[in-house]
Structure 1
Amino acid sequence: MPVRVGVPGACPTDLTCKSQKEMFQDCRDRFHSFGHPRGAFVWLRSFRCSPHIRPIYWPVTGRHCQKWIARGGMMKRIAIFFDGTWNDVDGDAPLTNVAKLHKALRSADGNRFRQVGHYVEGIASSMGEIAQFLKGAVGYGVEERIQRAYGLLAADYEPSDEIHIFGFSRGAYQSRSLASLITLFGVPKHGAGFDPAKAWALYRTRESRRNDTDVAALRAAAHYPVRIKCVGVWDTVGNLGNPFVSGFVSRKFAFHDVRLTDQIETGLHALSIDDVRGPFRPSLWTLPEGQMLAPNQHIEQVWFAGSHADVGGGFAETALSDIALRWMAERATATTGIAFDDALIARTTHPDPLGPQHSSATGSIFFWSGLFPFIRLIRQAKDAIPPLRRMLIGSWRSGTLPRGQVSINERIHESVEQRFGARIIELAAGRARTKTYQPGNLIPVIKKKTT
C-alpha cells in the first residue's frame, strides 16, 4: 500500500528499498540538489506538514523503509555522559560539568532532530567511604562503565544517527576509550549475533596480536564503520589518580586506546593549567610528527585556569569551572549542532576569570606533589621547567610528550589572559590565601604571545 508523504519533485516509482541504508543513500543522491546534505529525508519531514507542497504517493516496500517513514525519517543524536570518579547526580555534592551538561541537553534541537542522553555515574560513587576510596583509587569499574555505555548506544543506534560522547577526568578517559572501541568494531546490529564479550577481549588485545578473522566477523555483525560526531572531555587523566597504585593501575589499563582516531569528527578538550599532581597527568590528543589531521576533522585543546576540578567541576565554588562548561556547550553546538538549554546554562552558571581556585596538592596523599610539583607543559614550552631542576633531572615529572609525538591545536583560553598577573584567592584545606596569578608553566606562553 502506498505511503502518503510530501517529497518535492516527481514520484520515484523505480525505487525499491533493500535496506534502510540503501534507501537513505539513494534518496540522498536523488535530492542532493535541493541543498541539504541529509537529502530527501529532511525534506520529507519539513514538507510533509506544509500546506504549500502538494503531497504525492510514494510506493514503499521493505520493513526498514516503512519503519523509517513511521519514525519521521530523521536521524537523532545519541549523547553519552561519563562522570568522574566519585561523582554522580544523586548525592549532596556539587555537580560536575558532565552532570550539568547532561541536564542541559534538549530533547530536540531547533530542526526537531531528536536528542537522547545517557548518563554514566562515576566510579565508586555509591559506596561507603573506605570501599569508595579503594575502588576509585585502583580504577575498578572503568571497564564495566565503558561496556554499559556501549550497550546503551547499541540499543538506541540506527544508521545516520549522530554519536556524541562527553566525560570528565576518568570519565574523559572512558569517553576516549569508548570512541576507540566504536572505531574498531562500529555499533552492534540488533539480532546479528554480535558478541560484546569477544569484542571487548579483542579490543583489550594489542593490535599486533588481534585475530583479523575474528575482528572481521564482529564488524560484519555491526554497523561498520561508524563516525563519531563529537568527543568533548574535561582534563583527561592518563593515569588513574593514586600515587600508591600507579604501577598496578598502569598494567591493568595498559591496553585502553585513548588516541585520536580518524572516525572522530570533532574533538574538544578542556585542560587544567594549575594541577600539580603527577597521578593526574593530562593525556593530550597527539599525532605522530609530520602526520596531519584527517580531512574535515576539527580538534580544539584549550587550557583553563585552576586545578583539575576547577576545570571539570565538582567544587562548591564554580566561577572557574563555569567558564569551561560554557566553552564546551558553545563549541559543541557551534561545531556539531547539538542543542543545549542555553537559558538554563546562563541561569545556573556565574563565570568569573578572577574567581577563586583550589590548591591540588592538599592532604597527606598528595603532599609530595606540593614539594615537588608535576609541571603541565603548555605547547611543550620547556622553559616552564626551572633551569636548576632541568639541569639536575631533565624533564622528569613534567608533561613532556613521547619522542616523535606532537600535540594538536593547543591554546590558552582568553579568560586565562585576563587572570594572568591579577590578585586571586586560592583555597587549600578550608583556608584562603591571596596571591598573584603567575603559574610558571604559563609564563613562557604569555611571553611568547606578547613578543
Structure 2
Amino acid sequence: MTSNMPSSSKRNTRDSARKPRTIVLCFDGTSNEYGTKNTNVVKFYSLLKKDNQADQICYYQPGIGTYFQPGVVSPILHWGAAALDIAIAWYLSQHVLDGYKFLMQNYEVGDKVCLIGFSRGAYTARALAGMLHKIGLLSKDNDAQLPFAYKLYKSELEDSVSIAAGFKRTFCRPVPIEFIGVWDTVASVGLLTRRTLPFVTNNTAIRTFRHALALDERRAKFRASYYQHTAPQLAGDVQRPSTWAKPSMLRRATTNLLQSFSDVDEGMPGVDGSRPSFWQRISQERQVTLRRRPVRQPTIVETPEDVPTTNVREVWFAGGHADIGGGVASDTDEYSLADIPLRWMVHEAMRAQCGILFDSKALARLGIPTRNIFKSRPASSSGHSHPHVTLDDYLPPRRRAATSPTQERPHLDAPSSTHSVFASSESDDHATMDEPLVQAAKQPISDQLREHKSWWLLELIPTKFMWQSSDNNWITEWSMHLGAGRGIPDRNGDPPIFHQTVRVRMQDPELKYLPRALPKSGKYKWNDE
C-alpha cells in the first residue's frame, strides 16, 4: 500500500521528530595544540561524550592554524605564516570561518550551540557568536556566500547593520547561542597590532556567558576583554558595529611619539615648578596617559522588549593568563592552578543546563566532582549579611604591615544574604573545600614577565586601551603599561566576583599572596562552588 502523503510532508514530519542535538565547538589559544602540557580547552574537550552523534557532536580547533596546503610551500614559509598569525592575528578570519563552516555543515533547527575557548581561541568563539548574531548561519554547502558574509560581518560602514539584517533574512538562519564558556579572553589577539571584530564584547544572542579571568596577568598585550554592558540608546540611534578604531600602526606610533615629546604642557609640574622630561615621567609614573576621550559602545539597536537577557558571570581566579586557561603545568602534575577554573567551567555548564553531555568516567579521571553542584549554601547562620571587612582581615600578620595606615585600605565585600552562591563563613575555607582544590590553590603562579624578560619590550610601547566606566561610558587612553596589574571594572556598582580559592591563597602565611588586580572600589564578592 502506497502512502498519499507528499514527500515534503514526510520530510517535515521527520525533521520535527528529530531529537535536537548539542553542538560543542572548542577553540584553543594561540600556538596551542595537543601535547604534554594541555590547555583547559583540550581537557574540556576530553570530558565530552562523543560516542553518539545523534545526541552531541564536538569540534576542536587548535591554536596552530592550517596556513597553506601541505606540500605547496616550504617549511620556512609555513613558519613565517605562523609567526605572522601570532604577531598580527593575520589568520583570525580563517579561525572564525572554520568554526562557522562546521556549523553550516552540521547545524539543524533546534540544536543547541555551545562555544568554548581560551585566550585568542576565546576571542574566536565570541567572534563566531558575533557573526551568527549579525549575519546568521548560511545553508549547508553554500560556501560561495562565505566571503561576502564575513566581509559584511566585519564591515564598519554605517549602513552595514541594515544590509546585514536584509542578508540574514534572505540567505541565513537565526542561530541562538546556548552557552559560551571562555578562559581569559584577551583584548589584543595580535601581539603587535590589534585586530577586532564586531559584537565580541556584547551579544544578546547568547543565553549564558561564563568567563574565568586572571588576577595576576600583567602583560600589556594580555589585557582582558570583558563582557560589556551597553548604555541605553534611543530607538533609531544606529551605531557602527565596530568596537575599536583602527588607525595604522605607523600613525599610532607617530602620534604617541609626537605627544610624548610635545611641549612642556604634557608634563606634570615638579616640586620646584619645573616640568620633568619624558624619561623622568616614565620613572615617576607606572602609566603615562597620552590621550583620553569617551566613546560610545556601538551596537545593533533593539527596543527594550526585543532584547533578550544574557546570564553573565565573570569570575576572577588567582594566577596568570596560562594559569587560568592551562598549558603551563604538565598533565602529569598532581595539582595545578588551571584545575580550578576548569572545574568551575564544567560546573557552570552543568548548572546552565545548556545540553552539554559529559563523560562520567572522564570526569572521574580528572577528579572533577559532580555531586551537589546545584546546592547553594546559606548566606549566613544569622540570616544577615556580613559587614565589610578590611583587606587586612584576609592577610597573614606579616603582610598586614605592608598596608600604609595613612591610606584608605581596600575592603573585601562580604557575602550578601541575597546571593546564596557566595561564601558565607569568615573562618578558614579549608573546612568547606575538598583537599585537591585547596592544594591546587597553593600552586606557583606563572609570571611571564619574570620568566621571560623579552616580554618587557612590549611593555615600553605606548598602547591604546579602551575601558567602560561604571556609568557605561567608554574611555580610550594611550599608555605605557610597564607591567601594571589589570584594572577590574565595577559594573554599575556591582563588585567583581573572586573565586573562593583566592581567599584560601591569601590566607596562607607562606605564600604572602595579594592579587595583582584590585578594583578601585576595593569591594569584592566571593563565588562559592
Correspondence 1:233 to 2:322: no
Structure 2 letter corresponding to 1:357: I
Kindly report which structure 2 residues correspond to 1:421-436, keeping only aligned pairs within 5 A, or say none.
421-423=507-509, 435-436=511-512
Post-superposition offset of 1:341: 2.2
* TM-superposition CA deviations, 1:31-64 (whole Å, max 9, x none): xxxxxxxxxxxxxxxxxxxxxxxxxxxxxx3323
- Asked if 2 retains the 8 angstrom alpha-carbon contact of 1:271 and 1:301, the reply is yes
SS in structure 2 at match of 1:159: coil
C-alpha separation between the residues in 1 aligned to 2:356 and 2:221? 33
Structure 1 letter corresponding to 2:327: G
- Asked if 1 retains the 8 angstrom alpha-carbon contact of 2:186 and 2:222, the reply is yes
Unaligned runs of 5+ in 2: 68-74, 234-303, 368-435, 471-478
Q: TM-score, normalised by structure 1?
A: 0.68
Kindly report which structure 2 residues correspond to 1:28-427, keeping only aligned pairs within 5 A, or say none.
61-69=9-17, 73-89=18-34, 92-107=35-50, 114-123=55-64, 131=80, 132-190=82-140, 195-206=145-156, 208-210=158-160, 212-213=162-163, 215-224=165-174, 226-240=175-189, 242=191, 245=192, 249-250=193-194, 253-289=195-231, 294-316=307-329, 319-335=336-352, 336-348=354-366, 351=437, 352-361=440-449, 362-367=451-456, 399=486, 410-423=496-509
Q: Which has the higher contact order (CA 8 A, sep 6+)?
A: 2
Q: Which residue of 1 aligns with 2:517?
A: 441
Structure 2 letter corresponding to 1:64: N
- Asked if 2 retains the 8 angstrom alpha-carbon contact of 1:123 and 1:142, the reply is no
Post-superposition offset of 1:171: 0.3
* TM-superposition CA deviations, 1:131-180 (whole Å, max 9, x none): 34443222122110110110001100000000001100000010110000
Post-superposition offset of 1:208: 1.4
- Asked if 1 retains the 8 angstrom alpha-carbon contact of 2:153 and 2:164, the reply is no
Post-superposition offset of 1:409: 7.8
Q: TM-score, normalised by structure 2?
A: 0.59
C-alpha separation between the residues in 2 aligned to 1:106 and 1:448? 36
C-alpha separation between the residues in 2 aligned to 1:87 and 1:156? 25
- Asked if 1 retains the 8 angstrom alpha-carbon contact of 2:219 and 2:483, the reply is no
C-alpha separation between the residues in 2 aligned to 1:88 and 1:193? 27
Structure 2 letter corresponding to 1:277: R
- Asked if 1 retains the 8 angstrom alpha-carbon contact of 2:85 and 2:190, the reply is no
Q: Identity of paired residues, percent?
A: 28
Structure 2 letter corresponding to 1:117: C
SS in structure 1 at match of 2:448: coil
SS in structure 2 at match of 1:118: strand
C-alpha separation between the residues in 2 aligned to 1:306 and 1:294? 35
State which drifts further: 233-242 or 119-128: 119-128
Post-superposition offset of 1:310: 0.2
Cα root mean square deviation, aligned: 4.2
In structure 2, the CA distance between the partners of 1:346 and 1:408, relative to structure 1 (3 Å rule), is farther
- Asked if 2 retains the 8 angstrom alpha-carbon contact of 1:378 and 1:410, the reply is no
- Asked if 2 retains the 8 angstrom alpha-carbon contact of 1:186 and 1:222, the reply is yes
Post-superposition offset of 1:441: 2.6
Post-superposition offset of 1:115: 0.8
C-alpha separation between the residues in 2 aligned to 1:367 and 1:394? 10
* TM-superposition CA deviations, 1:94-118 (whole Å, max 9, x none): 1100111112111379xx9701111
Unaligned runs of 5+ in 1: 4-15, 20-60, 382-391, 425-434
- Asked if 2 retains the 8 angstrom alpha-carbon contact of 1:192 and 1:222, the reply is no
SS in structure 2 at match of 1:80: strand
SS in structure 2 at match of 1:357: coil
